Amino acid sequence: MQNLPYRAVVSDMDGTLLNAHHVVGEFTAATLEKVAAKNVDIVLATGRGYPDVAFILNKMNIENAAMITSNGAEVHNLQGELIYSNYLPEQLAFDIMQEPFDPYKICLNSYQGKDWFINVDIPELNKYHQESGFTYQVVDFAKHHGKHCQKIFFIGRTLEDLLPLEQRLKEKYGDQTAIIYSTPQCLEVMNKNVSKATALSELLKQRDYDLSQCIAFGDGMNDKEMLEEVGKGCIMANADPRLLTALPQFEKIGLNKDEAVASYLRAVFGVY
Q: What is the pLDDT of residue 36?
A: 96
From 12, 52, 161, 240, the catalytic residue: 12
Assigned CATH for 90-191:
3.30.1240.10
Distance CA 211, CA 213 (A): 5
DSSP 63: S
Helix (H, G, I), strand (E, B) or coil at 142: helix
Domain boundaries, the chain: 8-85+194-269, 90-191
Distance CA 110, CA 188 (A): 9
Q: What is the pLDDT of residue 248?
A: 96
Containing H/E element for 181? strand 177-183
Beta bridge partners of 149: 88, 112
Low-confidence ranges of the chain (pLDDT < 50): 1
Q: Known catalytic residue: 161? A: no
Q: What is the pLDDT of residue 2?
A: 62
Q: What is the pLDDT of residue 129?
A: 86
pLDDT 10s digits, 105-162:
999 999 999 999 999 999 989 888 888 889 999 999 999 999 999 999 999 999 999 9
| Domain over 8-85+194-269 is classified CATH 3.40.50.1000 | yes
Q: What is the pLDDT of residue 131?
A: 80
pLDDT 10s digits, 240-261:
999 999 999 999 999 999 999 9
- Is the pTM for the entire model greater than 0.85? yes
Q: What is the pLDDT of residue 128?
A: 84
DSSP 216: E
- Count the helices and strands in the chain (H runs, E runs): 8, 14
Q: What is the pLDDT of residue 133?
A: 86
State the virtual CA torsion across 214, 218, 220, 222 in degrees, nearest 10. Answer: -20
Alpha carbon 183 to its chain centroid, in Å, reads: 10
